[in-house]
Structure 1
C-alpha cells in the first residue's frame, strides 16, 4: 500500500514528507494506522549520526489503531488502540527472564534497519528503506511485530500516548522497575527533559522523601517542582554535589543521569551516600572515572538502564492507569505539531523550547 512518510535520505538531512510503499503484514505482524508519534532525541541521533542505515523512515514512539493483523496474531484485532514500543526477539535468555530491553539482538532489531525476519517492509521507487525500532512511526501507517504492539485503554486520548513507548517509559521505568526506591529514600535526577521529569513523577508515586531535580534551565526546574520535585538546583548557580549532601545529610540513596554529559555523570556518582546506586540512561561518550574513590571505596553501584527495564505490554498500561488516576500527569510535558511541521518540532526539541513534541499524523 502507498503511505505518506517522513523520509530521512542522508545523514543530517531534514525530514522530507514523501509517498512510499508499505508491504502487507506477514505472520505475527500488525498493520497500524498511526494517529500520532512522539519526537525523541534518539530519532535525532539516528538522523545526525546515522546509527541506523539510511535512507530510512524513523520514528519510534508511535500510537495508533490496528488496521489489519497477519497470520497467528491472537491478542490484537482491528480497531484496538495501541502504542508501539521497542523491538526484541522474545526468545533469548534476557527476553524470557523478563528483561527484553537487554535482548541479545536489541541493537540489530532496533537499529539494523530490518524487520524481525531480516527483510524490509518499506520501499520507495523500487529501493528498500530501513525500518527503525521495529516500527518506523513517522508515517501514516506502520508495521510492527505483535511483541512490541501494546494494547491501551480506549478512554484515553490516543494522540497523547506514543511517548510512553520510549522516553517516558525510560524515565518512569528506571525508578519503578530498576531502582525501586523504598518509601522515605532520596533520589537526585540530573536533567529535566521528558525522561528526567518522568522519573520525578515516578519517584513521587513511590514516596521518596527528597526528590532533587538538577538542570540548567529554570523554567524546566519550575515544572519539575510542579510534578513532584522537593528541591531544584540550577547547575550553573550552585555546587550541586555539596547542595545535595546538605539537603540529604550525606547524599542520596539513588541518582539518575539523563544528560549523558561526563561532568554531570560524575556528579551523579559523587552525590550518592555510601552504598548508593547511580542509573545512567543518557547516551554518554567515552569518559573516565576514579573507580576506587567514585565507586569501590564507598560500595557504590553504577548501572546502565535501557528503556526503563520495562516489559512494555505490562508497564505501559500501568502508566496509562496512573495517568487516569491523576498520579502521572505526563500530558504537561507535551506540545502537538502537525505532521508537516516535523522539522520545526525537532528544532523545538533541540533548543529545549519544548520538552516532548508529538506529531499528529492524522
Structure 2
C-alpha cells in the first residue's frame, strides 16, 4: 500500500477524523498482542516494526542471519509471505517460486538463507525446525502472538520516525505504542536524524537496548553507475531513501519512479519505464526487492536492469552479539 500523506501530519483533518477508528483498532490489536503464544522448540528472534511500511527490516534480518552464522548457529527465516498467494508452510525455492507465490522479500532472501513462508507461524516454525533451524529469525510478526519471542528487535528509521504517532488508520502504528515499547528488547535505529530520539529514550528507560546502524550500499555497484545517467525506480516503503542513497554515492539520477510498497508492476508500467530509459539514454536501476517482484518481466524491458545491493552495518555489533548469546543461552538452559 502507499502510505497516506496525512500519516506524517499530526494536525491533518483526515487523521483527526479517523481517530475513533484508530482507538477501536488499537484496542483490538492490544488484546491480540497480549494473548499467550507457544514455544517453537528453538530460540525465536523477531525483527519487526511499530508501524506499517518499511524501515529496513529485510537488511536487518539478513545482518542477523550472518551474525548468527558466525556464532555457529543455523538460522532459518520465517515469514508470512506478504503479497504471495501460497499459504504454506513451504520452504521458498528461488528456482521455482515467484514473488507472486511467496512475496518479494522471502524470494529475495531465499538466495542467501533458508526461508519458510507460512500464514500460520506455528506451522512455519515446525517446518523451520524440521529443516534444521537452531534459531528462527522472524521477519515481521512482532504484533502476532502465535509464537513466544525470545528476543524482539524493532527497526525504525532515524529520519522518518513514527510519522504522526497515531494508530491505524489515523496513523501508521500497528498497536498502542506503550504496549509495543514494553515488549521491545532492542531498538535498531537506522540512519541519521533525530525523529526516533524520543522513542529510543523510552526504550532505554524501560531497560531495552538501542542499537545504531546504517545501510551501506555496495561500493562496486556505485562505482559502475558513476558516469551514467540513471532512471531509478522502486516500490518500497520509502523510495526516496533509495534515490538519496544513489545520489549520495555520486550517481546522476535523472528520473525517479516511486511506487507503493510491494507494488505489482504491470506490463504497461514495465514497458513505459523501458521506453523512457531508451528515449533519454538512461540506465535502469532498482532495488533487489523490486527485481524479485519484476521476475520474468525484466525480459520485456529490452535493457539490463541494475540493482543496488545494500547491507546493514551496526555501530556496536559487540552489544548485539552479547544480547543474542544471552537470550539463546537462556532458552537452551530451560530445555
Query: TM class by shorter-chain length?
Result: 0.3 to 0.5
When normalised by structure 1's length, the TM-score is 0.35
Which protein, 1 or 2, shows the higher relative CO under an 8 Å CA cutoff with sep ≥ 6?
2
Higher-strand-fraction structure: 1
Of Structure 1 and Structure 2, the greater helix share is in 2
TM normalised by structure 2 equals: 0.37
